[in-house]
């Protein structure tokens, strides 16, 4: 089992012939991702990486058949239009890897998708990985054997580090979801935690948060009220040395008030019973030693 995608998910890559899209699409295909179409305006009718390329997502769906997910590598100025095109073509999962997407465009995108059965992940995120089955984005697939630990993160780099540590601890991963660190994103921690709760393979979850915003505390409250009796939740908060008012890394990682600081987030998580990991290098070890023996892959 997995959340959001699996080996059967039919995928279109928007921006497949660009430098980044081409590089990561080739890796994803080698990892087993079922890429059935690519989109690159003006290059329709070509084959690229043994995948048919179309000028539009609409044409890709008509000619390649039903498509369940799109991964977007389109440059920031065209990313909103790519999201809209995928949504209007009936695609239910849209993963936006693109960095630098204007906040106004994401606000428009969320308004456009409101009330519709479409999941938007990103932007400025590493994407989704189901080890051995499907990779939408840029998460290193060789670091993550399959297993019972779910990972959800605002930080791309720390997503990779967590996956590596979990593997080194002798545990495997059910699904990795990088939700992105921008001020406005499509999918939050609560949505991913609810999906992990419904996944029988996922027996525990590691959540990686950052300074800025209330998302981590809201997730902790949700877990305490809805999920605490079913699956353990571990958390690490990045940015513990960041000074107030200074932007650190992601566009959303900015302390604007006391609640946004790492210390405040850690205190709030602990108050709701979440197992907080204090050191970056201890993620794998803490999950390993705190988990039941049955969690080991």
List of E strands, 66-167: 69-72, 93-96, 119-121, 127-130, 134-137, 146-153
d(CA 39, CA 72): 10
List the catalytic residue out of 24, 164, 250, 272: 250
Sign of CA dihedral 17, 20, 24, 26: positive
Q: Give Cα separations from 225 to 165, 202, 220 (angstroms).
A: 29, 19, 9
Crossing angle (nearest 10°) for helices 76-88 and 57-64: 40
For the record, the structure tokens of 282 come out as 């201890």
The CA-CA-CA angle for residues 10, 111, 150, to 5°, reads 50
Known catalytic membership, residue 164:
no
Q: Is the Cβ–Cβ distance between 149 and 204 less than 8 Å?
A: yes
Sign of CA dihedral 256, 108, 218, 152: negative
User: Which of the 8 DSSP states describes residue 170?
Assistant: T
Run of H or E residues at 24:
helix 19-30
Long-range contact set of residues 287-294: C-beta below 8 Å, sequence gap at least 24: 287/149, 287/166, 287/169, 287/171, 287/204, 287/206, 287/234, 288/166, 288/169, 288/170, 288/171, 290/232, 290/234, 291/149, 291/171, 291/203, 291/204, 291/232, 294/203
Q: Which residues share a beta bridge with 238?
A: 210
- The catalytic residues are 250
């Amino acid at each position: 089992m997995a959340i959001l995608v699996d080996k059967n998910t039919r995928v279109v890559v928007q921006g497949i012939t660009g430098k980044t899209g081409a590089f990561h699409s080739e890796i994803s295909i080698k990892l087993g991702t079922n890429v059935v179409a690519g989109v690159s305006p003006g290059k329709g009718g070509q084959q690229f990486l043994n995948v048919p390329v179309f000028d539009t997502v609409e044409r890709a769906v008509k000619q390649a058949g039903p498509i369940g997910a799109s991964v977007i590598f389109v440059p920031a100025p065209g990313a909103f239009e790519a999201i809209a095109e995928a949504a209007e073509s009936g695609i239910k999962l849209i993963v936006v890897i693109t960095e630098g997407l204007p906040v106004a465009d994401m606000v428009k995108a969320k308004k456009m998708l409101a009330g519709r059965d479409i999941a938007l992940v990103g932007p400025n995120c590493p994407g989704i990985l189901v080890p051995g089955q499907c990779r939408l984005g840029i998460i290193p697939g060789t670091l993550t054997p399959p297993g019972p630990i779910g990972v959800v993160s605002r930080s791309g780099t720390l997503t990779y580090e967590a996956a590596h540590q979990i593997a080194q601890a002798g545990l495997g991963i059910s699904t990795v979801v990088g939700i992105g660190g921008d001020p406005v994103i499509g999918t939050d921690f609560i949505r991913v935690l609810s999906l992990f709760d419904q996944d029988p393979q996922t027996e525990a979850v590691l959540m990686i948060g950052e300074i800025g915003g209330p998302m981590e505390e809201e997730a902790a409250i949700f877990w305490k009220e809805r999920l605490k009796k079913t699956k353990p939740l571990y958390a690490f908060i990045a940015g513990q040395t960041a000074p107030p008012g200074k932007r650190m890394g992601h566009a959303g990682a900015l302390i604007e008030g006391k609640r946004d600081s790492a210390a405040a987030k850690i205190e709030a998580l602990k108050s709701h019973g979440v197992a907080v990991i204090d050191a970056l290098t201890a993620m794998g070890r803490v999950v390993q030693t705190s988990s039941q023996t049955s969690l080991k892959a």
